[in-house]
């Protein structure tokens, strides 16, 4: 403990360090739920949880502030669990190991969980503060934001009372968010048969690593490499040039993260081995040149391995690599109403072998609901043409910007008063739970803000230390300016 000794604001960093000790993978947040329930009880605060696991903790107004409008602070308690391939770590048991690197806090080989652990910490600091004046406060902690928004989906009318919501799940200090994209997942399933490895073949392992990865919404416009796309491109060429055959592919992990590592076990005729080895170097040179500005750490490795026990059948191999090659990934359209905002995108998230199926997971986002469905249908059509079965998730709605928002105006005035400049007001291409909240609570007035985070959803995740103080100051100033009922 005491990793953050001396950092300000002290309360937030102390609570964030406690949070780092509590395992909280998406859909497995029971330890964190219990942590919050015990926290509420310990501090004599009204605390409850719903059937989904969402936790609500209430704090009465300070004396003389009882007539202010009640306000709810909200963050999600789960975290994206990504690690470097050479790191041994169990996200269901092990504590995150944060460390300070200059003006940043990072984690050793894993995601840090500042998304959205820093929001949780801020709420806990507000709930225990005895030197802050405020009106009635509710703090909502939702489950499973990262892999399905199921906590927000399950939230029932009447669970909280406030009509003003501060979402503490944004990643750019100095920016106020008033809208977000909706999303949907599209998953393809290939059935395959096995076939024997030809006696005259040798086996190789091809691996793509060293990519930055990142958030499939926030980082999709940065032109980052996708390990699934890079690896499949190599395999596609190798099948035609060297009669390469696939035994297995494993690429990417999470639907909301850009794939950063992938590997495949291939076989090829021994007589083609030398030319194949030469092509590996040629391909690596090309891809490194193409991505030299965005992915300087790209690694493309090759090693000989023992012959695998089987290969997938030729027809499935052909369908799979053609479909993955054709599957769209990246920005599909930019917004015409809000310059600089990605409107629609698709992420080729993962390729996995499971039992007798090959599962390709993709996710689509758009701030326009019809465009979200359109790009999901486009992805579906690619895989249907390749003979795969396709399923879509239920999806989640976007959050339509309200430029006349009362809480937005309060946040803008508060920021200008504190820091002497106007904050940027924008929408975000990532998904936030706000759209789902509006379905249950249509009168909610909302704004989202937070400190500066970078590399979220990857082991490069980091949080900027000075921005946390500014985030905290803004939160307090907003609470100080909530109007009367």
On whether residue 44 sits in a domain, the answer given is yes
Q: Got the DSSP string for 224-265? A: ---HHHHHHHHHHHHHHHH--EEEEEEE---TTB----EEEE
pLDDT tens sequence across 314-348: 999 999 999 999 999 999 999 987 888 999 999 99
Q: What is the pLDDT of residue 69?
A: 97
Calpha distance 149→479 (Å, rounded):
27
Same domain, 200 and 312: yes
Give me the CATH number covering residue 403: 3.40.630.10
Residues 6+ apart with CB under 8 A from 11: 121, 124, 125, 128, 129
Last residue of a domain, one of 359, 392, 425: 392
Calpha distance 37→124 (Å, rounded):
12
Residues 124, 130, 133, 136, CA torsion sign: positive
On whether residue 192 sits in a domain, the answer given is yes
On whether residue 160 sits in a domain, the answer given is yes
Q: Where are the alpha helices (DSSP H) in 310-452?
A: 314-326, 369-385, 406-419, 434-440
Q: Is 78 a catalytic residue?
A: yes
- The DSSP code for 480 is H
Q: What is the pLDDT of residue 219?
A: 93
Last residue of a domain, one of 329, 357, 392: 392
Q: What is the 3-state secondary structure (H, E, C) of 133-177?
A: CCCCEEEEEECCCCCCCHHHHHCCCCCCCCCEEEECCCCCCCEEE
Cα torsion 310, 314, 317, 318 to 10°: value is: 170
Calpha distance 224→330 (Å, rounded):
9
pLDDT tens sequence across 194-203: 999 999 999 9
Q: What is the pLDDT of residue 1?
A: 61
Q: Please determine, for residue 431, whether its predicted confidence score (pLDDT) is greater than 90.
A: no
On whether residue 426 sits in a domain, the answer given is yes
pLDDT tens sequence across 51-109: 999 999 999 999 999 999 999 999 999 999 999 988 999 999 999 999 999 999 999 99
Same domain, 31 and 66: yes
Q: Please determine, for residue 138, whether its predicted confidence score (pLDDT) is greater than 90.
A: yes
Same domain, 31 and 174: yes
Same domain, 124 and 200: no
Q: Please determine, for residue 283, whether its predicted confidence score (pLDDT) is greater than 80.
A: yes
Please answer whether residues 235 and 321 qualify as being in contact, where contact means their C-beta atoms are separated by less than 8 angstroms. Answer: yes
Residues 405, 411, 413, 416, CA torsion sign: negative
Furthest C-alpha separation in the chain:
85
Q: What is the mean pLDDT of residues 185-200?
A: 97
Last residue of a domain, one of 328, 358, 392: 392
Same domain, 350 and 414: no
Q: Is 103 a catalytic residue?
A: no
Same domain, 380 and 454: no
Same domain, 221 and 249: yes
Q: What is the pLDDT of residue 432?
A: 85
Q: Which domain holds residue 318?
A: 184-269+299-392
Q: In percent, how much of the chain has pLDDT > 70?
A: 100
On whether residue 292 sits in a domain, the answer given is no
Q: Please determine, for residue 147, whether its predicted confidence score (pLDDT) is greater than 90.
A: no
pLDDT tens sequence across 160-176: 999 999 999 999 999 99
Please answer whether residues 20 and 89 qualify as being in contact, where contact means their C-beta atoms are separated by less than 8 angstroms. Answer: no
Same domain, 95 and 197: no
On whether residue 474 sits in a domain, the answer given is yes
Q: What is the mean pLDDT of residues 101-126?
A: 97
Same domain, 242 and 166: no
On whether residue 18 sits in a domain, the answer given is yes
Q: What is the pLDDT of residue 388?
A: 98
Q: What is the mean pLDDT of residues 30-50?
A: 98
Q: CA 118, 142, 91: angle at the middle one, nearest 5?
A: 65
Enclosing H/E stretch for 195: strand 194-195
**452's tokens:** 């500066």
Calpha distance 430→33 (Å, rounded):
25
Map residue 386 onto helix, strand or coil: coil
Q: What is the pLDDT of residue 102?
A: 96
Q: Can you give the pTM of this predicted structure?
A: 0.79
**Given 29, 138, 145, 343, which residue is catalytic?**
145
Q: What total of structural domains would you count in the chain?
A: 2
Please answer whether residues 167 and 448 qualify as being in contact, where contact means their C-beta atoms are separated by less than 8 angstroms. Answer: yes
Residue carrying structure tokens 């639907």: 255
Same domain, 245 and 329: yes
Residue 274: band (very low, low, confident or very high) from pLDDT cuts 50, 70, 90: very high
**471's tokens:** 């985030």
Residue 365: band (very low, low, confident or very high) from pLDDT cuts 50, 70, 90: very high
On whether residue 162 sits in a domain, the answer given is yes
Q: What is the mean pLDDT of the chain?
A: 96
Q: What is the mean pLDDT of residues 222-240?
A: 97
Same domain, 378 and 263: yes
**Given 78, 146, 169, 343, which residue is catalytic?**
78
Calpha distance 229→223 (Å, rounded):
13
Q: What share of the chain is helix, strand, coil (3-state, %, to 5)?
A: 30, 30, 40
Q: What is the mean pLDDT of residues 136-140?
A: 98
Same domain, 357 and 254: yes
């Amino acid at each position: 403990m005491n990793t953050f000794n001396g950092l300000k604001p002290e309360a937030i960093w102390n609570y964030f360090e406690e949070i780092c000790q509590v395992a909280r993978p998406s859909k497995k947040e029971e330890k964190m739920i219990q942590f919050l329930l015990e926290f509420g009880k310990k501090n004599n605060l009204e605390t409850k949880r719903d059937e989904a696991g969402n936790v609500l903790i209430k704090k009465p107004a300070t004396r003389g502030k009882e007539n202010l409008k009640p306000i709810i602070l909200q963050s999600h308690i789960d975290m994206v669990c990504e690690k470097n391939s050479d790191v041994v770590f169990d996200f269901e048991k092990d504590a995150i190991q944060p460390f300070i690197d200059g003006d940043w806090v990072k984690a050793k080989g894993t995601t840090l969980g500042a998304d959205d652990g820093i929001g949780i910490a801020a709420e806990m600091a507000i709930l225990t503060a005895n030197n802050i004046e405020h009106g009635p406060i509710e703090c909502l902690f939702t489950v499973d934001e990262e892999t399905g928004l199921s906590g927000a989906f399950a939230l029932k009318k009447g669970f909280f009372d406030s009509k003003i919501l501060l979402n503490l799940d944004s990643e750019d200090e100095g920016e106020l968010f008033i809208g977000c994209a909706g999303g949907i997942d599209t998953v393809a399933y290939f059935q395959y048969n096995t076939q024997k490895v030809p006696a005259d073949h040798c086996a190789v392992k091809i691996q793509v690593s060293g990519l930055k990865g990142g958030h499939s919404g926030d980082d999709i416009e940065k032109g980052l490499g996708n390990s699934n796309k890079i690896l499949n491109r190599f395999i596609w060429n190798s099948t035609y040039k060297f009669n390469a055959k696939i035994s297995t592919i494993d690429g990417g992990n999470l639907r909301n993260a850009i794939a950063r590592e992938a590997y495949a076990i291939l076989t090829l005729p021994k007589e083609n081995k030398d030319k194949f080895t030469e092509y590996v170097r040629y391909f690596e040179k090309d891809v490194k040149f193409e991505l030299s500005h965005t992915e300087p750490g790209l690694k493309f490795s090759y090693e000989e391995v023992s012959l695998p026990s089987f290969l997938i059948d030729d027809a499935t191999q052909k369908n799979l690599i053609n479909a993955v090659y054709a599957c769209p990934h990246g920005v599909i359209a930019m917004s015409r109403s809000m310059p600089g905002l990605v409107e629609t995108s698709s992420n080729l998230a993962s390729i996995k072998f499971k039992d007798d199926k090959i599962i390709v997971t993709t996710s689509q986002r758009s701030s326009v609901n019809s465009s979200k469905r359109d790009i999901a249908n486009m992805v579906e059509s690619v895989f249907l043409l390749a003979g795969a079965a396709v399923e879509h998730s239920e999806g989640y709605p976007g959050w339509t910007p309200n430029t006349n928002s009362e809480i937005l105006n309060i946040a803008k005035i508060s920021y200008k008063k504190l820091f002497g400049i106007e904050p940027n007001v924008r929408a975000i291409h990532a998904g936030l739970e706000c759209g789902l909240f509006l379905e249950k609570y249509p009168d909610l007035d909302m704004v989202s803000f937070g400190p500066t985070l970078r590399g979220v959803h990857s082991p490069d995740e980091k949080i900027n230390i000075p921005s946390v103080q500014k985030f905290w100051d803004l939160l307090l100033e907003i609470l100080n300016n909530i109007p009367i009922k």
